[in-house]
Structure 1
Amino acid sequence: MKWIGRRQSDNVEDRRGMSSGGKGIIGGGIIGIIILLLNLFGGENAQMLTPVLEQFNQQSTQTESRPLTEKELEEQKFIETILADNEDVWTKIFQENNLQFKEPGLVLFSNAVETACGNATSSSGPFYCPGDQKVYMDLVFFEELKTRFGAQGGDFATAYVIAHEIGHHVQTLLGTSGKMRQMQEGKSEAEANKLSVALELQADFYAGVWTHYNQKMNAILEEGDLDEALSAAHAVGDDAIQSKIQGHIVPESFTHGTSEQRKYWFMKGYKTGDIKQGDTFAELR
């Protein structure tokens, strides 16, 4: 991915290397894999994952402050550039639709972090907190994505994840997230899960729209970049995760969508670049 030399956002807060504590966890990210699986499956599946979760929690105890490494500083520049790209693209899209875009924040952390949505650890995966309108990420997660779940990795896979989480910010600004929560009230768990899937797939669509616009504006894509994004989308499909973790799938428990659905909606956003074509809730009506 071509990213060097472009504007960098001032809305990134790098808390890596800072003292942090707390073992609370929140979900809602693109791939809050461990907590997602605990919530979805429960019972024996939760017991199976408990040792993994405890391992993550043991890593979230207080640590002393330290200076960032050269690698971490380079990662920070990359994240700041990708966030700036998101700011520029969504400001343009909102203006085209006579709306005003409010820039989100992005927090990089190690092991554990405090948010307006509660405490979280690395096991949550990258997530968006509507309470403070910030995206939270521990970049160690992307190594897990490759080694544990078989994704290709790469810088554009990271960019896709960020764009997905900014997609949730867009949903917050447009009121989609709030409407979805209201629609879930009084529904069965299976019906509520379908609404959650629609929300997540729309965030994937928005990530594709961002890619479409950013390619036009900055010619960011290099050979293999789209494959990196699709590989990440495939790895975090509910069916892929359930099959890998427990050996079978439970469709009614899906909350993020299948691998094929996630890839489809990302590519639809990328190919059309039209925010109006992202009604993932249509088939539920």
Structure 2
Amino acid sequence: MPSVNCKESKARPSTVAGARTNYLNLRNCLNRAWPALVRKAGGTFRPPTVMVFSGNVSTPCGVWSDSGPPFYCSGNETIYMNLTEDIGNYNRHPENYQRVWARMWMLHQFAHEYGHHVQNLTGIFQASSRLRYEAPSKALELQGSRRLELQASCFSDIFIGANKRSYPLSGESLRQWQWLIGATIDPQRDHGSKSNHKYWAQKGYTSRSPASCNTFTASAARVS
């Protein structure tokens, strides 16, 4: 993926308006970054819709709450960003480094959900759903979910790595990104361990190529 010279919005996610401005800026950047790669994979590019929510939100994929993370719904090709989480993260602590973390977390989460959109456009999302439906055990079904989620994070960091100079990802921003990719949690065992999340995120960031993100041929240990 070449750089699209994406720059971070000057708005801060301390308010609904600031968060929306950041989401729209990232959507515009990602809409320029992914089309050629989607077409190369045999897909037809369509930009996703982006919606924001607080409280509960009803979607074709079910009802979701802001007590959970942002999510992607393939039924209407929409990224749903959690305003409660992003504004809360930014306003919770006054220290600058924590606010930088909140901005980097929002960047990574948005690009991750966009990664699910790329999976949907290229048939990966649908194939993964079939594999999980046909899995002979709950353990293998969860492993299939981890393969999908870790690949979305790898896709996320392809974009971040491609635009690290223009955004920019340097200094405190780089330190906070490096920390957060290895500090994810996985209470449901469906997103991947901290060490494996860091492994796949770094692969995407370093390679800038979707070819490095084939979690579906990786060993079970690498997607635990």
Whether the 8 Å CA contact 1:89–1:214 is kept in 2: the answer is: no
**Paired residue secondary structure (2:171):** coil
Alignment partner, residue 105 of structure 2: 157
In the TM superposition, what is the alpha-carbon distance from 1:4 to its structure 2 partner? 3.4
Within-5 A mapping of 1:1-285: 2-4=7-9, 71-95=15-39, 97=41, 99-142=43-86, 143=88, 152=98, 153-184=101-132, 185-215=134-164, 218-238=166-186, 242=187, 254-284=189-219
Query: Which has more radius of gyration?
Result: 1
Identity %: 26
Alignment partner, residue 3 of structure 2: none
Distance 1:145 1:171 in 2: 29
**Paired residue secondary structure (2:106):** helix
Task: Identify if the C-alpha distance between structure 1 residues 280 and 72 changes in structure 2 by more than 3 Å, giving closer, same or farther.
Answer: same
Computed over aligned residues only, the root mean square deviation of the Cα atoms, in angstroms, reads: 2.8
Structure 2 residue runs without a partner (length 5+): 1-5
In the TM superposition, what is the alpha-carbon distance from 1:235 to its structure 2 partner? 3.3
Amino acid at match of 2:163: N
Task: Identify if the C-alpha distance between structure 1 residues 284 and 263 changes in structure 2 by more than 3 Å, giving closer, same or farther.
Answer: closer
How many residues in Structure 1 have an aligned counterpart in Structure 2?
Answer: 205
Task: Identify if the C-alpha distance between structure 1 residues 187 and 227 changes in structure 2 by more than 3 Å, giving closer, same or farther.
Answer: farther
Deviates more, 1:263-272 or 1:113-122: 113-122
Distance 1:146 1:260 in 2: 28
Whether the 8 Å CA contact 2:38–2:121 is kept in 1: the answer is: no
In the TM superposition, what is the alpha-carbon distance from 1:2 to its structure 2 partner? 4.3
Whether the 8 Å CA contact 1:171–1:177 is kept in 2: the answer is: yes
Distance 1:204 1:215 in 2: 16
TM-score (norm 2): 0.80
Whether the 8 Å CA contact 2:14–2:91 is kept in 1: the answer is: no
Deviates more, 1:178-187 or 1:103-112: 178-187
In the TM superposition, what is the alpha-carbon distance from 1:254 to its structure 2 partner? 1.8
Distance 2:112 2:9 in 1: 21
Distance 2:28 2:157 in 1: 16
**Paired residue secondary structure (2:34):** helix
Alignment partner, residue 53 of structure 1: none
Whether the 8 Å CA contact 1:2–1:221 is kept in 2: the answer is: no
**Paired residue secondary structure (1:221):** coil
Task: Identify if the C-alpha distance between structure 1 residues 231 and 70 changes in structure 2 by more than 3 Å, giving closer, same or farther.
Answer: closer
Whether the 8 Å CA contact 2:16–2:83 is kept in 1: the answer is: no
Whether the 8 Å CA contact 2:8–2:22 is kept in 1: the answer is: yes
Whether the 8 Å CA contact 1:237–1:260 is kept in 2: the answer is: no
